[in-house]
Structure 1
Amino acid sequence: MSTFGTLFRVTTYGESHCASVGAIIDGCPPGLPLEPQDVQTQLSRRRPGQSNLTTPRDEKDLVHLQSGIEHGITLGTPIGLLVRNEDQRPRDYSETDLYPRPSHADWTYLEKYGVKASSGGGRSSARETIGRVAAGAIAEKYLKAVYGIEIVAFVSSVGKIHLPTSVCPPLLAPAEDNDDVEDALSPEFVKLLKTITREEVDKNIIRCPHPETAERMTQRILRAKDALDSIGGTVTCVIRGVPSGLGEPVFDKLEAKLAHAMLSIPATKGFEVGSGFRGTEVPGSKHNDSFIRKADGSMGTKTNWSGGIQGGISNGEDIYFRIGFKSPATISQAQDTAQYDGTAGTLAARGRHDPCVVPRAVPIVEAMASLVIMDQVLIQNARKSSAALLPAITTLPPTMVKPTAN
């Protein structure tokens, strides 16, 4: 469906070439200072036409806050926001009246609903993510103000070009009986996760925080563009400052909600948290995160193979994960395929398309991460507030009760 979240609920609307796209956000706490620019910053990072690596569709994506706010303060009532589609060219998609585009959603939407949007992929278009990004910016402002939470995503690979310190398979597989596997997180990557900022990410158009790799990625995307082709990649995201205790086992574990959120983004094909698939190569004796007492007196872990989540619940360490985006389905090369009636033919799609989606996917990943954490914060706070009304627990052993619990 088109609604995400339990207590912080976001409903998006709109198709690629309709009059507008946007969202209704229900459950935003009252009293949050909020101005259009708080939302516009992230929308501008997502918008098309930012560089020669993206679609040339010229949309300013200016947000209009419609409700739920007065004098720059949220009221606690539903927030409506709207972004108009200005650079519409539905005529560019006349070929899709005859052909379902290979690996696109034209065919499956028609099979599901019995009718489909005539242009641009309709709801399957990345235009739909505008509402997500806007809602995520609002959630993120609350999380930053109340908890100091920071969410930063960046491009970690394009095609076969990987950020050197990212979690990726070794070029040469180790011997089967050799358990001396290197840490999934190199010291350089650990430092990157702890210190990376959006300002550093945005220093280049590819949004990879490693200049040499960013240049190679840029050339790879340009090569795909020149060939009227496309290429995929991955985005890594880190969430810093998350309080422990978030997540709703067993079916709504924190990593399950993050996976749900990330795999709902268009063009996604994979998700891994913490050590991910690399962790399957490591024996438990090397993979386990030992507990330590930190300098500030709090409990923590010596390593972070778990990616900040254990048992489906946040443990207070940095949460990090990686998402795989496929090569965009719509390309301008002529492709042998079939028409809707099964007649063989050749499709040469027109329109304006991204040769690689990962640079523009960065703020979308950040937004969906914000929505998940915001929802889980509200759920956990409701539980804690309800528990605080009960008498203090005095009948259980001390090891069964958190010392600060009432």
Structure 2
Amino acid sequence: MSSTYGTLFKISTFGESHGSAIGVVIDGCPAGLAFDTDFIQHELDRRKPGQSRITTQRREADEFDVLSGVFEGHTQGTPIALIIRNTDQRSKDYGHISEQFRPSHADYTYQTKYGSRDYRGGGRSSARETAARVAAGAVAKLLLAQAGVQITAYVSQVGKLKLEKAYPELNLALAEENAVRCPDPETAEQMFQYIDGIRKQGDSIGGIVDCVVTGLPAGLGEPVFDKLHAELGKAMLSINAVKGFEYGSGFAGVEQLGSEHNDEFYTDESGRVRTKTNKSGGIQGGISNGEDIYFRTAFKPVATIMQDQDSVDVHGQPVTVSGKGRHDPCVVPRAVPIVEAMAALVLVDMYLRNKAAKV
């Protein structure tokens, strides 16, 4: 089972949802980076459960310990190991599905592939694993910030409720001021009430997280197969519950003519080559062009619902699966920092690789 991502800035995550701990080993982080533990904890706090009544009520502080790679507040260029203890497991909540396959979960596919599975909260397939990604992504963000790169994600859609405006018309700073992480307060309140209603019904709903990257220089990306947008797509699609990814004009671009869709170049007053429009989403030929990168990630409704559903057991016999445990009725509010973290991991790896691209 592969749990490693990256080429130069490489991470390996470990642990299960109901094991003693989860964590990550970061290999390839340059020495001398100021290791801001408060910032890393802040990023973990944005993802942790129990933030409001529209998120899972599992209570995890998600406080991390540094096992290696940091000395006197700075990275040493050696592997950085971070660990997050699990403190609020309720494995008994999953005893009833030890031999049952939950609809739209990884139960059947894991059992088929490996011959066994950790049914306690999904084990390795649980979104609990993403806390380790957020911790690693926070370190990547610290490195990117030194180069002036900022990554901001936000919720743009829940079910059929959509933001009417899009970046750059939005004040993205407002996203962190509400539980949904939507940058429009009125729409955020509508989304909150909608999700809360879905929760009371014992059901779930999906949504979309948009992400904007500013300050990224031109030239990042590794054609032919490691195109920047391809790596971003892979990273986003590796997140639990993600069903779709698009960047720039995305699928809507098929409705335009080439003369409408092309981004014409010009030189600004500082002598920098720019584009008049940004249908490309900051990426052309798989390489960043210096404009803002923007993309969207679609999340399905959470598979665990508090309703009875038909399924089969490990013997192929029909069963009724009853939803138990603590789960998010909508994953997108807590997915925002995960999207940012995975984007940061892609970009920091490309940033370091680009330094070796030419003399």
TM-score (normalised: structure 2): 0.98
For 1:336, what is the secondary structure of its paired residue?
strand
1:356 aligned partner: 330
In 1, the alpha carbon distance for the partners of 2:158 and 2:96 equals: 30
Task: Please state if 1:48 is matched with 2:49.
Answer: yes
Q: Does the 8 Å CA contact 2:13/2:25 hold for their aligned counterparts?
A: yes
1:381-392 pair list within 5 angstroms:
381-384=355-358, 387=359
User: What residue in structure 1 maps to residue 169 of structure 2?
Assistant: 191
Alignment RMSD, CA only? 0.9
1:138, distance to aligned residue in structure 2 (A): 0.3
Quote how far apart the aligned CAs of 1:118 are: 2.8
8 Å contact kept, 1:93–1:349: no
Question: What corresponds to 1:160 in structure 2?
Answer: 160
CA distance in 2, matches of 1:107, 1:214: 36
The one-character-per-residue Cα deviations of 1:289-336 (angstroms, maximum 9, x if unpaired) are 000112322000000000000000000000000000000001110112
Counterpart for residue 271 of structure 2: 297
Structure 1 position 345, deviation (Å): 2.1
CA distance in 1, matches of 2:193, 2:311: 30
The AA in structure 1 aligned to 2:149 is: I
Distance (whole Å) between structure 2 residues aligned to residue 122 and residue 133 of structure 1: 18
- Whole-Å Cα distance in 1 between the matches of residues 348 and 225 of structure 2? 18
Give 1:319-358 correspondences, 5 Å limit: 319-358=293-332
Kindly report which structure 2 residues correspond to 1:248-263, keeping only aligned pairs within 5 A, or say none: 248-263=222-237
Q: Give, in angstroms, the shift of residue 196 of structure 1.
A: 2.4
**What's the counterpart of residue 78 of structure 1?**
79
Separation in 1, partners of 2:229, 2:15: 29
> Matched residues in 2 for 1:337 and 1:376: separation?
43
Please say if residues 28 and 78 of structure 1, whose CA atoms lie closer than 8 Å, have aligned partners that are also in contact: yes
Residue number in structure 2 paired with 1:61: 62
Alignment check: 8 A CA contact 2:35 2:73 kept? yes
CA contact (8 A) 2:3 2:13 kept: yes
Q: Which has the larger radius of gyration?
A: 1
Amino acid at match of 2:109: T
Q: 1:373 Cα deviation (Å)?
A: 0.4
- Partner residue in 2 for 1:25: 26
Q: State the SS of the aligned residue for 1:65.
A: strand
Alpha-carbon separation, structure 1, partners of 2:125 and 2:305? 16
Does the 8 A contact of 1:157 with 1:233 survive in 2? yes
Query: What one-letter code is carried by the residue in structure 1 that aligns with 2:61?
Result: K
Secondary structure at the aligned position of 1:342 is classed as coil
Structure 1's consecutive aligned runs of 4 or more residues displaced over 2 angstroms after TM superposition are 189-192
1:1-20 equivalences under 5 Å are 1-20=2-21
Letter in 1 for 2:172: I
The offset of 1:369, in angstroms, is 0.4
- Alpha carbons 1:36, 1:64 under 8 Å: kept: no
User: Contact 2:107–2:119 (CA<8 Å) still a contact in 1?
Assistant: no
Percent identity reads 56
TM-score (norm 1): 0.87
Alignment gaps of 5+ in structure 2: none
Query: Does the alignment pair 1:307 with 2:281?
Result: yes
Look up the match of 2:97.
96
